[in-house]
């Protein structure tokens, strides 16, 4: 009887361990899936950065044996990803400046401050002129160099309180905060002139950088969609007056 009870207890223990192992394997599969999804579905991460991020847990897992240790590795990597991916979600990978998501977050803060303290400022949207022609003549590599150069010029010529972002393929936005509408528009036009004076050397040829601009001021009561819409409309009007085509920016 004692022998049979021991056999039963042994079988139950083995069954429990089997269930635990299956649960751990399932948990590891879920964790691994979370890592892959977070990396592969990230909106702004480059292909090279995705490859690097995916390789990191594989290297770490190859150095441990037990399932508990492997789970700890995956959980640690998920924690690291959270701190790594958060800023990447607000960064344009091509130009390394802020993206539209980051700009909208900053604008919400600025508009809230405007409502509380009566602050004013200007949102300027820049759209590269004849960018399609640049891509056709120089390829996407040449187009990318133009975008990088444009980002560099804008960032170097604004104040620390201003905010520069790439918000679409060939569109950039500059938030000129804590300034009057007149001063903000003047500074935005000066940026436009500085862009016009910029040239990019690519594959032995010189590419000129030109951009049209649309400005809209904000004040107490200004809404985020309304601000984007007015700036986009002003940009459309300038493009049209210069005989250039423009697709309206979605607000």
Q: Which residues pair with 166 in a beta bridge?
A: 99, 172
Specify the length of the chain in residues.
Answer: 251
Catalytic residue list contains 170? yes
> What is the C-alpha separation between 41 and 54, in angstroms, rounded?
12
Q: Are strands 171-176 and 199-202 parallel, antiparallel or unpaired?
A: unpaired
d(CA 94, CA 124): 21
Helix, strand, coil share (%) of the chain residues, nearest 5: 60, 15, 25
Work out whether strand 205-208 and strand 211-218 pair parallel, antiparallel, or are unpaired.
unpaired
Q: Indicate which residue of 92, 170, 201, 203 is catalytic.
A: 170
CA–centroid distance for 85 within its chain: 10
Residues with catalytic roles: 170
């Amino acid at each position: 009887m004692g022998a049979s009870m021991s056999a039963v207890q042994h079988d139950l223990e083995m069954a429990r361990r089997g269930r635990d192992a299956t649960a751990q394997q399932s948990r590891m599969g879920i964790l691994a899936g979370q890592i892959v999804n977070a990396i592969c579905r990230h909106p702004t991460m480059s292909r090279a950065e995705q490859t690097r991020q995916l390789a990191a847990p594989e290297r770490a897992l190859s150095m441990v044996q037990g399932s508990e240790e492997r789970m700890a590795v995956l959980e640690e990597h998920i924690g690291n990803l959270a701190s790594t991916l958060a800023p990447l979600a607000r960064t344009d990978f091509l130009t390394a400046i802020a993206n539209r998501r980051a700009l909208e977050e900053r604008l919400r803060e600025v508009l809230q401050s405007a409502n509380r303290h009566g602050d004013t400022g200007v949102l300027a949207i820049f759209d590269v002129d004849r960018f399609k022609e640049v891509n056709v003549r120089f390829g996407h590599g040449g187009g990318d160099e133009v975008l990088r150069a444009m980002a560099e010029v804008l960032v170097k010529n604004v104040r620390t309180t201003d905010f520069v972002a790439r918000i679409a393929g060939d569109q950039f936005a500059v938030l000129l905060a804590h300034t009057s509408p007149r001063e903000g528009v003047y500074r935005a036009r000066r940026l436009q002139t500085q862009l016009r004076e910029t040239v990019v050397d690519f594959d032995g040829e010189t590419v000129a950088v030109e951009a049209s601009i649309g400005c809209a001021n904000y004040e107490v009561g200004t809404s985020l969609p309304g601000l984007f819409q007015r700036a986009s409309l002003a940009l459309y009007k300038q493009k049209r007056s210069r005989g250039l085509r423009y697709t309206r920016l979605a607000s």
